[in-house]
């Protein structure tokens, strides 16, 4: 790989990070769905992927999407709030805090070339992230010139090869380059329990780069039934050096692995039913999974170390159910519902004021219209229902009630040109 080519790849990922607004995605740090069609079915896309975001949903499905170019963007609006009953222990301020920064733009794009028995594709994806932006100084001992919060954005650039290996079996692989952007502010009160207080907070944006891969299989045992499986490897990222005193393992924040099984049933020539079951392995990433349920005066390990405080996230299971109805040759309607097991227990509420990943149920709908001449326009709307967690018994709260709540709206628009 030439130096010029490497620079071009890195520049494309960097441009995506700068363009994409950070968002707190709906399945923990992951988006609820990838691609306009999948979003319209609450993320179900392992078998019925219908655009170049199949590279994320199931690389094998890229062979089914044909020669095409897709460009899309989501307007994502998460509404996050945290309530601290008393200014005690870790907290210097009490009351209800409403996060600002409620509107984000998340881009996507891709191209696929169909060569018959195999296909080649390139896909750019706004993967997800986390964001909070409180105007208050929440944590004890902190100096907050710009409030309290974190900002994480993730992008992926994938190169997909899919191939038919028999009449009813297709396989695919997508090596991926990844970029992350991270900032933390208003956490200086944790300086006494950090291995490096100068690399703890308020250091502006830092960037991280890495690689991973997705592999998938699509099996069609009959004209009506399809089965699929996708494994997305852990994405190994460079460390956030400017936040080595905050994130576990000297600023390490890898993107966790995920395994998804999917199926579809074509009821008739118009109606298709789909289902996905996904498992996200947050427990493999220490900065995400290390517990923060510790005493306010007894920190077992300093921030930034291997066992330093994290968000206490556990492995997440997600069930997605969807339906697609082809009204006529031009118009297709979609709908879906998803539920997840939630990434965190309420005993981990303290640090998750910064990342309140509490929504569990999502309802979605969408449609695609074919204009002719190879042009399509798709629209999808997703709502994450308001969910609230309350805890007043764990050690770090010292009897202090801490509530986290969030709801979300997402409007996705996608344009396709078939060639």
State residue 323's pLDDT score.
98
Q: Is the pLDDT confidence value at 397 over 90?
A: no
Cα gap 128→25, rounded to integer Å? 5
pLDDT category of residue 393 using cuts at 50, 70 and 90: low
> Model confidence over 281-310: pLDDT tens digits?
999 999 999 998 876 556 667 899 999 999
User: What does the pLDDT read at residue 23?
Assistant: 55
pLDDT tens-digit series, residues 339-380: 999 888 888 998 999 999 899 999 999 999 999 999 999 999
197-232 pLDDT, tens digit each:
999 999 999 999 999 999 999 999 999 999 999 999
> Residue 124 pairs with which residues in a beta bridge?
109, 157
pLDDT at 395: 52
Mean pLDDT of the region 405-411: 96
C-alpha closest to that of 262 among 6, 118, 47, 412: 47
Three-class secondary structure assignment of 36-48: HHHHCCCCCCCCC
Nearest-angstrom CA–CA distance, 68 and 111:
6
257: phi then psi, degrees, rounded to nearest 5: -75, 160
pLDDT digits (tens, 9 = 90+) for 138-152: 999 999 999 999 999
For the chain, which residues make up each domain, given as ranges? 3-418
Higher pLDDT residue, 8 or 163? 163
Cα–Cα distance list, 160 to 56, 102, 213, 231, 253 (Å): 9, 34, 10, 14, 25
**Is 324 in contact with 274 (CB distance < 8 Å)?**
yes
Looking at residue 390, its pLDDT comes to 87
The CATH T-level fold of domain 3-418 is: Porin (2.40.160)
Question: Using 50, 70 and 90 to split pLDDT, how confident is the model at 86?
Answer: confident
pTM for the full predicted model: 0.92
Question: Which tokens belong to 338?
Answer: 């998803």
pLDDT number for residue 56:
96
pLDDT per position as a tens digit, 302-342: 899 999 999 999 999 999 999 999 999 999 999 999 999 98
């Amino acid at each position: 790989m030439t130096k010029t080519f490497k620079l071009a790849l890195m520049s494309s990922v960097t441009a995506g990070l700068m363009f994409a607004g950070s968002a707190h995605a709906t399945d923990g740090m992951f988006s609820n769905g990838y691609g306009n069609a999948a979003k319209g079915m609450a993320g179900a896309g392992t078998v019925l992927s219908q655009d170049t975001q199949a590279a994320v949903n199931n690389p094998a499905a890229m062979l089914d999407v044909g020669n095409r170019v897709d460009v899309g963007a989501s307007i994502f609006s998460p509404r996050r709030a945290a309530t601290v009953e008393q200014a005690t222990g870790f907290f210097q301020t009490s009351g209800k805090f409403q996060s600002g920064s409620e509107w984000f733009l998340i881009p996507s794009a891709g191209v696929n070339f169909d060569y018959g028995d195999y296909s080649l594709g390139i896909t750019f994806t706004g993967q997800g992230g986390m964001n909070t932006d409180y105007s208050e100084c929440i944590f004890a001992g902190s100096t907050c010139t710009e409030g309290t919060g974190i900002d994480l954005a993730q992008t992926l650039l994938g190169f997909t090869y899919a191939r038919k290996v028999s009449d009813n079996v297709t396989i695919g692989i997508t090596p991926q380059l990844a970029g992350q952007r991270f900032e933390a502010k208003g956490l200086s009160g944790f300086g006494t329990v950090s291995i490096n207080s100068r690399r703890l907070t308020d250091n502006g944006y830092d960037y991280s780069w890495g690689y991973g891969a997705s592999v998938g299989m699509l099996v069609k045992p009959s004209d009506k039934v399809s089965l699929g499986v996708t494994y997305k490897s852990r994405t190994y990222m460079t460390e956030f050096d400017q936040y080595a005193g905050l994130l576990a393992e000297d600023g390490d924040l890898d993107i966790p692995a995920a395994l998804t099984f999917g199926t579809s049933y074509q009821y008739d020539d118009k109606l298709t039913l789909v289902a996905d079951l996904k498992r996200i392995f947050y427990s493999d990433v220490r900065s995400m999974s290390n517990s923060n349920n510790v005493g306010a005066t007894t920190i077992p390990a300093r921030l930034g170390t291997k066992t330093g405080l994290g968000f206490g996230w556990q492995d997440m299971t997600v069930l997605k159910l969807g339906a697609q109805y082809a009204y006529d040759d031009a118009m297709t309607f979609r709908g879906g519902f998803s539920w997840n097991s939630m990434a965190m227990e309420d005993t981990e509420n303290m640090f998750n004021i910064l990342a309140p990943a509490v929504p569990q149920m999502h309802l979605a709908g969408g449609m695609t219209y074919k204009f002719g001449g190879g042009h399509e326009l798709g629209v999808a709307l997703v709502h994450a229902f308001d969910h609230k967690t309350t805890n007043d018994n764990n050690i770090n709260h010292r009897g202090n009630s801490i509530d986290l709540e969030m709801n979300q709206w997402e409007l996705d628009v996608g344009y396709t040109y078939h060639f």
